[in-house]
Structure 1
């Protein structure tokens, strides 16, 4: 089984304003924990060239699977609000046990913002 994967992380700053940036990570170890991967992503984006400063310093704290290779894509513009129990990555899980595989796309966001958006899923332009 392959332990390294390409994972796209969608940095979500605002659900309401659809403010997000996808960042691709190569050579992701699927056997690392969710917390370790979040730390790697935070460290990488804090210095990544071409990423606007607000995305680098945002307090991301939660990851959720948006799309897996060869699966159906959601029609939601930022992220689906369905199946949180299955798709939100839990602390202590490895990426593999959480369902992350090669070419998976995950959203990285602030749980509090997501809760507010889920309670009132509007978007503004």
Structure 2
């Protein structure tokens, strides 16, 4: 198993409007903590050229595994609302301990938005 992985981070700005932007990170150290990785993503998108300001300045605070390589994908357009207790990454864990592996896709979002959407999962156009 390699120490570095490719991880796709789906920045979720709005669940209702299906407003998200995937960003691919190469060379991700799976031994770093979840909070270190969150900070790395925030720092990266703050300085990434051509990145839209609404995504750049958003207050993301939670990560959840959407998809593992060679696993089944969800039918949800933004992310699944199931299995929060196993799929939401806990801050004290390393990425590897949290279940992140090479070619994992994770959502990065604001927990408050997710809770509101989960209580009433309607999409708007």
* Cα offset, 1:49, TM superposition: 1.4
* Cα offset, 1:33, TM superposition: 0.1
In 2, the alpha carbon distance for the partners of 1:122 and 1:112 equals 16
**2:122: which partner in 1?**
122
Matches within 5 A, 1:74-89: 74-89=74-89
**1:94: which partner in 2?**
94
The runs of 5 or more residues in structure 2 that have no matched partner are none
SS at match of 1:17: coil
In 2, the alpha carbon distance for the partners of 1:47 and 1:18 equals 24
In 2, the alpha carbon distance for the partners of 1:72 and 1:50 equals 32
Matches within 5 A, 1:49-64: 49-64=49-64
**1:10: which partner in 2?**
10
Matches within 5 A, 1:32-47: 32-47=32-47
Q: TM-score, normalised by structure 1?
A: 0.99
SS at match of 2:27: strand
SS at match of 1:42: helix
Q: TM-score, normalised by structure 2?
A: 0.99
* Cα offset, 1:50, TM superposition: 2.2
Structure 1 outlier segments of 4+, above 6 Å: none
